[in-house]
Structure 1
Amino acid sequence: MDFITKLPKSSQGFDTIWVIVDRLTKSAHFLPIRKNDPLDKLARLYLNRIVARHEIRVSIICDRDERFTSNFWKSFQKALGTDICMSTAYHPETDGQSERTIQTLEDMLRACVINFGKGWVKHLPLVEFSYNNSYHASIKAAPYGGWRIPTDWPEVNPRNNGKDSPDQAMDA
């Protein structure tokens, strides 16, 4: 988890992007926030946009932002059963995945800001979709493709002797 700050203030007042990257699938979420959003609002956003869609994480690597080092955030994550691992100051390799994702996102945002100005928030979901559908050499797939578990079912077709399901077709 990390933040991109000092963005042009959008018409909705957003000036920061909260970047959350799954270390396994390399999928990323880009959440527009305000620099001064209170922690309870960030906690609700995290529950609604991350936990509700993906489950509770076993561990999270965060930078040493005051929001992540606060007692509130530590208590919140402890209640969820998540271990917080703080990255080492001046040692970006600790959370290198977030740093690489942020570099890519900043490049993508530059194109949006040039074309859309302060309307970057409106296009952020498409930027996220584009990022998550791009090939990543480390997983040899796109992050959204990494979520899918391949199935080895036989194709269900008219030639399966009237069987309706793959299990029935296999029993034939």
Structure 2
Amino acid sequence: MAHFLPAQKSFTAADTVEILAERLIRYHGFPEALISDRAPRFQSELWQQLYKRLNIKRVMPSSYHPQSDGQTERVNRTLEQMLRTYMQSHEWEWERLLPALELGYNTTSHSSTERSPFEVMIGENPLTAADLDIVGAMAPTLTPPVTKLFRYLCYRVHGHSMQANWRLKYYADSKRREIEYAVGDKV
């Protein structure tokens, strides 16, 4: 399951630990391993103590092969694409979009599992605003536009996620070559 959290390049090690505790550990428990880049904030004394006390394995990609954390790279590309789509008209509100984009991403079926991250973690997708019949819960003049907006947003997020997954598959497949075996080859 992906979590989209606003952060600044100026965040310190303490800021990063606080985000980890508030937004991830409280929902998922302590990680067995933590993949991080070689940024100074992840190499501080605070992080060294955290790794040691909580028995967290530290995994760092090679400095010459930073894309070895492929899953994070794919999620970041998808999020970037989603943000670009919505920021065309509302650039100043990108941070407010993160919760809705996170829900859309986590409730969209992924090609590798044929399930959404939410289904993989919980066993089923949650109800979203698009699933609910909110007629009567709001003033009659608000209900149709709000329902239409929620459905539209869910549809767009789902569409962009599917498109991003297709592109990733297309590019990965374009680099693969058919392997031909001859009789007697060891496989």
Normalised-by-shorter TM-score class:
0.5 to 0.7
TM-score of the superposed pair, with normalisation by structure 2: 0.62
1:75 maps to 49
**Which is further off, 85-94 or 47-56?**
85-94
d(CA) in 2 for partners of 1:101, 1:127:
12
How far is the alpha carbon of 1:96 from its aligned partner?
Answer: 0.5
2:35 maps to 61
2:122 maps to 148
| Residue number among 71, 87, 95 corresponding to 1:113 in the alignment | 87
Cα-Cα RMSD: 1.6
| Structure 1 runs, 4 residues or longer, greater than 4 Å off | none
Deviation string, structure 1 residues 64-95 (Cα, Å, up to 9, x no partner):
22222222222223222211111111314421
- Would you say how many aligned residue pairs link Structure 1 and Structure 2? 124
1:38 maps to 12
Evaluate the alpha carbon distance shift between residue 149 and residue 123 of structure 1 in structure 2; reply closer, same or farther with a 3 A threshold. Answer: closer
Unmatched segments (≥5 aa) in structure 2: 125-187
| Residue number among 71, 76, 99 corresponding to 1:125 in the alignment | 99
How far is the alpha carbon of 1:38 from its aligned partner?
Answer: 2.2
Deviation string, structure 1 residues 121-163 (Cα, Å, up to 9, x no partner):
011111111111111122220001101248xxxxxxxxxxxxx
d(CA) in 2 for partners of 1:87, 1:111:
30
| Bigger share in helix | 2
d(CA) in 2 for partners of 1:131, 1:138:
14
Percent identity at matched positions?
Answer: 33
**Conserved 8 A contact 2:13-2:42:** no
2:172 maps to none
Aligned partner of residue 78 in structure 1, secondary structure: helix
